[in-house]
Amino acid sequence: MSRDAWWVARAWLASRGLLLGVALLVMITQHRSGHDLLSAWDVAHFEAIATQGYANPIDRAFFPGLPLLLRAAHTVGIPMGLAGVGIAGICSALAAWALLRLGGPVAASLWLFAPTTVFTTVAYTEAPFCAAAFWAWERARSRHWGQAALLTAVACSFRVSGLFLIGALGLYALLQRGTPATRRLLHATLVALAALVLFAYVAWLHHLTGSWNAWFEAQQSGWNRGFTKPWEALQHTLDAARPSKWPDRPAVATVFGAEVVSMAVGTSLSVVLLVRRRWAQAGWVGVQVFAFATSWWFMSVNRAVLLWFPLWLLAGELARFGWGPARPAHQGKQVAARTAVAVFGVASAGVMVWWAWQFFTGAWAS
């Protein structure tokens, strides 16, 4: 194993160990069982789908990839909570490995200590989706488009975000330099075939409910999703971020405030990527930001930051500049880069601990 790989492996162990420590502290001080810790919020939906199918109409908002994995584990006698942790652990390691190949050890390590990392340690879709999506991008960059298309199809089984991945990788394929137009079109077509996974789920829901909009209707019913003007969505979110709105649950206001910050990060990131002419990456982040901006309010943006691998790649580039060969003419900039990366990493780890406490105690965590 290379030195960089060992670095990332230690970061994976350190981040998981830190979150395990938070979980144990919650169990001791808050008297919560392991099941309580591992089955909060969306985990309960995935476990219900795995055991009962889509009996609850709002569960149709969740794609079947993760419930199928949980059901398979349950069939062989593995408790779903532990199975979710195992799946998340393996997939987070795979995602970090892909980031190592895409952007180096700092990019991968910072992702492992991202503020909402707790969602990559339990039965949420962030870890398996990131594993498939990041490797799809890595395979595309290496010009292995068949593998990239297959991995994109896998990603589509976990989240609707797979649709955005298809678009971004399709754009990446069409903009390849030094590749004949016919080959570029073929590569984009291969990636587009992954949309069949999304269509299959929509068609199955239509068979089940008689509605082609069953997925969106579940989103509206369960999470108040709906098309809204961006400035109205922002106002709704700012209203939800007022502590007076949640007198008995102050953390809810904090999380909604963080949603606004995450939207600002996503918007700024999209602009930076456009300025740098990284069109496909800008498309990957920008279309997600647009989708969140046109919802009734900003929700789950904090978790979506985990999917924005270009953010972590840029952080890795900043680190390589800061710790790269000394350049007298750029000495001040290199010191500033090192300081920025270090401060970001420490602050991110601190927020990660807070977010894990929120989730493990059953408080609202995005």
DSSP secondary structure string, 316-354?
Answer: HHHHHHHTSS--GGGHHHHHHHHHHHHHHHHHHHHHHHH
How confident is the model over 174-192, as a mean pLDDT?
95
What integer pLDDT is reported at residue 226 of this predicted model?
A: 79
CA angle, 270 then 272 then 278, to 5°: 80
Distance from C-alpha of 51 to C-alpha of 43, rounded to nearest angstrom: 12
Q: Is the separation of the CB atoms in 221 and 234 below 8 Å?
A: no
> Token pair for residue 176?
């390849």
Distance from C-alpha of 360 to C-alpha of 24, rounded to nearest angstrom: 10
323 — pLDDT class (breaks 50, 70, 90): low
What are 43-82's pLDDT values in tens digits? 999 999 999 999 999 999 999 999 999 999 999 999 999 9
Region of poorest pLDDT, from 49-58, 253-262, 304-313, 328-337:
328-337
Q: Is the separation of the CB atoms in 128 and 27 below 8 Å?
A: no
> Token pair for residue 224?
């108040």
> Token pair for residue 81?
């909570």
> Above 70 in pLDDT, residue 254?
yes
What integer pLDDT is reported at residue 206 of this predicted model?
A: 96
* Widest CA span in the chain: 68
338 — pLDDT class (breaks 50, 70, 90): confident
CA angle, 260 then 261 then 267, to 5°: 90
Q: Is the separation of the CB atoms in 113 and 348 below 8 Å?
A: yes
User: Contacts by 178-186 with C-beta closer than 8 Å and gap 24+?
Assistant: 186/145
**pTM for the full model?**
0.96
Average pLDDT, the chain: 95
> Above 80 in pLDDT, residue 235?
yes
